Each structure stands twice: as C-alpha cells, then as structure tokens.
C-alpha cells in the first residue's frame, strides 16, 4: 500500500489558441481560453493510479488555484483519485513558482503520511518545470524528475527510468520521493462513467458558499457537513487553515517579475547552401551559435 499525493494545475488551453485570444503585446488573454487539466499533471495522476492499481493505497489530488479549479479536481475524482483538495485564497493571486511551491509544500506537510508525490514535469502555461522540484526541495525529499517509467517498487525503494538528453538513466531512491513525469510516460485513462455519476456533485467550500448565497434557507456549515457525509466535499484550504506566512504568499512572496514580453514571429528567410563537409559543418555550427540557436 502506498499513499500518493498528486500536484495538479488548471491551465489555459494553450493547445487550442484561436485568433482573438492573442493580445497586441503578444501575451495571451487567459480569460478567453478555456481552462483545462494540465496534460502532464494528468499523466502524473495516471502514474499514481497505476501504483495504486498494483499495490493498493490512496491518492489525494491537490491544487492551488482559483475556485473554478474545482472543475479539474472533479476530473481527478472521475479518473480515480480518492480525495481532492483545493487550496485557494485571494491572497495567493500572482504567485510565482517560489510562492506556489511554498504553499504546496505546507499543504503537503499538513496532509502528511505520503510515500509519493507525483507532479507533471511542467505546466503548459508557464513552462518553468520548477514547482515540482521546488516543492520537493522544501520538503527535503529526494526527487526523480523527467520520469518515464517506474521499473520497480520494492518496500521503501523505488527504481525508475528518467529521460535525459540523448538517452535515459535508471535511478533508485528511498521513499518518500517527489516525482515529476513527462507527457509520454503513460497514457491517462478515460474517466470512469460510474465515478462521473457518483462524483459529479462534489463541491468545494466556495461552491457551497455560492449555493448558500442564493438561498437563505441553506447554511454553509450544514451543507459542508452533508457533502462530507456523502463523500462529496472537496476539502478546501485557505491561507489561515495552513497558517502561512503572508509575506511568502502571492505577489508579496514572488520575486519573479515579468520584465518584458516579446512577440517573436518566426518566418522563413534566406536560404544558404552549406557543403556537407567538415568545414561546412563547422560553418553551420558557427552560424547557429551566432544566432543564439546553439550554445
């Protein structure tokens, strides 16, 4: 039996960008893009599910995000996660990877008892690949990044293959471990129809509050209790619940500032013939270095 925590993120669907989503300065108008389950995080959840299928155990999916991230957490439940937790607070807005990993690490500490933390290698919106490793670092965990396949789990030891430039390496480490997985590692399973039906009504605290707002006969506490008893409550943690340092959260805790966004338009240019000789190849490499494509 192994207990896994999966770090998941809801991201704008950058794979399906249409004309009116791009702004003049070259940035993406996120509000116009549908929000989706970050593809590599879905692979991470699949990896956790396979560990559970083989050895038994439990899976908790957690995300830090706005209330609407509940949609993705329900999808985690549809795939087979046992529990989903939403970490949400207005004060988290504007967080960079440092602040995000601080919040996630504190949440993981509070949850405790885990053997694996799975995360996608990176999110398709930021492409930093930092949140997983930073979270692992704050928890003082060994980490296996760019994981392709878990080869063996034997007691408290895991052996895995990770992708490296030009090949792979096989690594072994003790549990607990933080793992980030690449897209091609495994194919995420489809939602289970039965779980879709049984968990479609799962709600986070914010969603329950919204229900209560519209109806004076409903009380939040009662509703939370009812949803909990039906195992349909998406546990919701705020900054206060986690007793976090406000200075390390959101914009305040984020040293990363976007300096400039440049719209790079790639287009075809002149052609140049390079002879397939040693000198020719040398020239090609020089040229690529000059254009900062190599090096």
By CB under 8 A, name the binding residues for other proteins. 16, 78, 189-198, 200, 231
The two three-digit tokens of residue 255, written as one number? 């040293």
- Taking the C-alpha atoms of residue 93 and residue 96, their distance in angstroms, rounded to an integer, is 9
CB 237 within 8 A of CB 107: yes
The two three-digit tokens of residue 265, written as one number? 């338009």
Would you say 36 or 147 has its CB closer to other proteins? 36
DSSP state of 292: T
- The distance of closest approach from Cβ of residue 192 to other proteins in the complex, given in angstroms and rounded to an integer, is 5
**Residue 63, SS3?**
strand
Please classify residue 28 by burial: count the beta carbons closer than 10 Å to its beta carbon, then call 0-12 exposed, 13-18 middle and 19+ buried: middle
Rg (CA), the chain: 22
- The distance of closest approach from Cβ of residue 78 to other proteins in the complex, given in angstroms and rounded to an integer, is 8
Would you say 201 or 280 has its CB closer to other proteins? 201
Would you say 82 or 191 has its CB closer to other proteins? 191
- Taking the C-alpha atoms of residue 155 and residue 210, their distance in angstroms, rounded to an integer, is 45
- The distance of closest approach from Cβ of residue 214 to other proteins in the complex, given in angstroms and rounded to an integer, is 18
DSSP state of 248: G
- The distance of closest approach from Cβ of residue 26 to other proteins in the complex, given in angstroms and rounded to an integer, is 25
- The distance of closest approach from Cβ of residue 152 to other proteins in the complex, given in angstroms and rounded to an integer, is 23
- The distance of closest approach from Cβ of residue 191 to other proteins in the complex, given in angstroms and rounded to an integer, is 5
- Taking the C-alpha atoms of residue 209 and residue 221, their distance in angstroms, rounded to an integer, is 9
- Taking the C-alpha atoms of residue 106 and residue 135, their distance in angstroms, rounded to an integer, is 9
Would you say 193 or 258 has its CB closer to other proteins? 193
Would you say 39 or 142 has its CB closer to other proteins? 39
Would you say 159 or 191 has its CB closer to other proteins? 191
């Amino acid at each position: 039996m192994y207990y896994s925590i999966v770090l998941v993120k809801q991201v704008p669907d950058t794979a399906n960008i249409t004309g009116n989503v791009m702004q003049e300065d070259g940035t993406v108008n996120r509000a116009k893009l549908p929000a989706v389950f970050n593809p590599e995080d879905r692979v991470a959840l699949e990896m956790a599910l396979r560990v559970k299928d083989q050895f038994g155990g439990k899976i908790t999916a957690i995300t830090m995000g706005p209330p609407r991230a509940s949609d993705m957490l329900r999808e985690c439940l549809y795939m087979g996660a046992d529990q989903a937790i939403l970490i949400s607070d207005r004060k988290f807005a504007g967080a960079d990877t440092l602040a995000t990993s601080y919040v996630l690490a504190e949440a993981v500490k509070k949850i405790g008892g885990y053997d694996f933390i799975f995360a996608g290698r990176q999110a398709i919106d930021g492409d930093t690949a930092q949140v997983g490793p930073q979270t692992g670092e704050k928890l003082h965990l060994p980490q296996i990044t760019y994981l392709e396949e878990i080869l063996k789990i034997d007691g408290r030891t895991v052996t895995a293959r990770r992708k490296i430039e030009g090949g792979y390496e096989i690594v072994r480490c003790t549990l607990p471990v933080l793992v980030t997985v690449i897209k091609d590692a495994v194919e995420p399973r489809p939602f289970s129809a039965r779980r879709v039906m049984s968990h479609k009504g799962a709600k986070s605290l914010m969603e329950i509050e919204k229900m209560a707002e519209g109806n004076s006969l409903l009380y939040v506490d009662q509703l939370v209790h009812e949803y909990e008893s039906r195992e349909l409550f998406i546990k919701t943690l705020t900054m206060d619940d986690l007793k976090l340092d406000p200075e390390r959260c959101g914009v305040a805790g984020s040293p990363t500032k976007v300096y400039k966004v440049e719209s790079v338009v790639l287009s075809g240019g002149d052609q140049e013939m390079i002879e397939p000789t040693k000198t020719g190849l040398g020239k090609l490499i020089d040229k690529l270095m000059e254009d900062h494509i190599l090096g």
